[in-house]
């Protein structure tokens, strides 16, 4: 697939955002796409309605809050086989040719297609798919991430799942978008993060937010170039500490508010917890990605939804996250 492929299926493009001054805002374009898809794509409307009616409960984890959602619509994504062989054999569901007939897109700066997520967790929930079939990777797309958060504005948060920790299409680069402020970790950021700055230089503030069972590295700044340089250095340090030649395992949130970008990075050491592979009562089908690390646990079976406790959540977090001493080591290398 190459960049001109979307041009050969023009009926796929609902609208185009090119950033021209005075044009329709990206927020408005996405809102129009969302309404259009609800009216014209029956399967999506049904999936969205089911999600809106999904059970949701709040559990307290220390001074923090976790949310648990029972969402059977996520079954395919949560249980997807992600080994290289399976990925190679299946048709890529993010390539423009394989999208359902009723699916439309906002063409974003001729680089990404913004789509409604057909298996939503949020309302709205968008998937932002690169126009090329190229592997999931953050390094080459930090500028795109910052631009997207800027163009979407403060009402939205962009999130990213590394290819080995939550991305259900590791072979096709994509981001996702949810309403800003909906993730428990964003509330924790407001209340806690500002108390723990470690370094503030070259216009980039950096700190660690300790949460039950996991830590988030917090990065904030108003200059995109400085942020990109810092994030690359941070990923380099993570790779050294984690002993990884590939992209270090991570999930990330990014939002832009009051002129500053805020990023939360969750370093990971494992994709799925052992309990995922157990049988019987000890089994729990949770596949942690950015959403789960951010404090919203998606369960696809009623039993898992009911049995989730703060202690169980914390155990899952501890298992899939980098231990505190390695977080400290990353901090020492970048500060
Ligand atoms: Zn693809």
Q: Return the pLDDT at 104.
A: 97
Distance 304 CA to ligand 1 centre (A): 32
Contacts for 201 with CB less than 8 Å, ≥ 6 apart: none
Joined tokens for residue 245: 């030649």
Per-residue pLDDT band for 127 (boundaries 50, 70, 90) equals very high
pLDDT above 70 (res 313): yes
42-69 per-residue burial string, b: 16 or more CB within 10 A, e: under 16: eebeebbeebeebeeeebebeebebbbb
Distance 100 CA to ligand 1 centre (A): 14
Q: Return the pLDDT at 198.
A: 64
Distance 134 CA to ligand 1 centre (A): 7
Q: How far apart are CA 266 and CA 252, in angstroms?
A: 6
Distance 111 CA to ligand 1 centre (A): 14
Distance 112 CA to ligand 1 centre (A): 12
Burial class (CB within 10 angstroms; exposed 0-12, middle 13-18, buried 19+) of 275: middle
Fold exhibited by the domain 5-273+316-334 = HIT family, subunit A (3.30.428)
Q: Which residue has the tokens 């007939």?
A: 101
Distance 133 CA to ligand 1 centre (A): 4
Q: Return the pLDDT at 197.
A: 62
pLDDT above 50 (res 1): no
Distance 169 CA to ligand 1 centre (A): 8
Over range 258-286, report the average pLDDT: 86
């Amino acid at each position: 697939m190459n960049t001109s492929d979307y041009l050969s299926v023009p009926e796929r493009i609902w609208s185009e955002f090119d950033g021209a001054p005075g044009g329709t805002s990206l927020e408005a374009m996405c809102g129009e796409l969302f309404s259009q898809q609800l009216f014209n794509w029956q399967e999506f409307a049904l999936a969205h309605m089911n999600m809106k009616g999904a059970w949701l409960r709040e559990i307290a984890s220390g001074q923090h809050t976790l949310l648990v959602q029972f969402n059977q619509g996520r079954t395919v994504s949560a249980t997807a086989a992600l080994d290289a062989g399976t990925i190679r054999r299946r048709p890529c569901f993010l390539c423009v040719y394989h999208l359902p007939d009723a699916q439309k897109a906002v063409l974003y700066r001729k680089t990404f297609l913004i789509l409604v997520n057909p298996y939503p967790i949020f309302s709205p929930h968008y998937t932002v798919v690169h126009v090329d079939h190229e592997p999931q990777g953050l390094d080459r797309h930090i500028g795109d991430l910052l631009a997207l958060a800027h163009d979407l504005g403060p009402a939205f948060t962009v999130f990213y799942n590394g290819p080995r920790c939550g991305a259900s299409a590791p072979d096709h680069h994509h981001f996702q978008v949810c309403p800003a402020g909906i993730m428990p970790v964003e509330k924790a950021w407001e209340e806690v993060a500002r108390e723990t700055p470690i370094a503030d230089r070259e216009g980039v503030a950096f700190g660690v937010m300790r949460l039950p069972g996991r830590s988030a590295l917090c990065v904030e700044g108003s200059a995109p170039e400085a942020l990109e340089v810092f994030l690359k250095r941070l990923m380099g340090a993570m790779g050294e500490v984690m002993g990884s030649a590939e992209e270090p395992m991570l999930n990330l949130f990014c939002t832009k508010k009051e002129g500053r970008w805020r990023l939360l990075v969750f370093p990971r050491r494992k994709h799925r917890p052992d309990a995922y592979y157990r049988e019987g009562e000890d089994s729990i089908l949770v596949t942690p990605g950015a959403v789960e690390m951010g404090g919203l646990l998606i369960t696809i079976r009623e039993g898992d939804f009911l049995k989730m406790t703060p202690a169980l959540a914390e155990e899952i977090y501890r298992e899939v996250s980098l231990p505190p001493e390695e977080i400290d080591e990353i901090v020492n290398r970048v500060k």
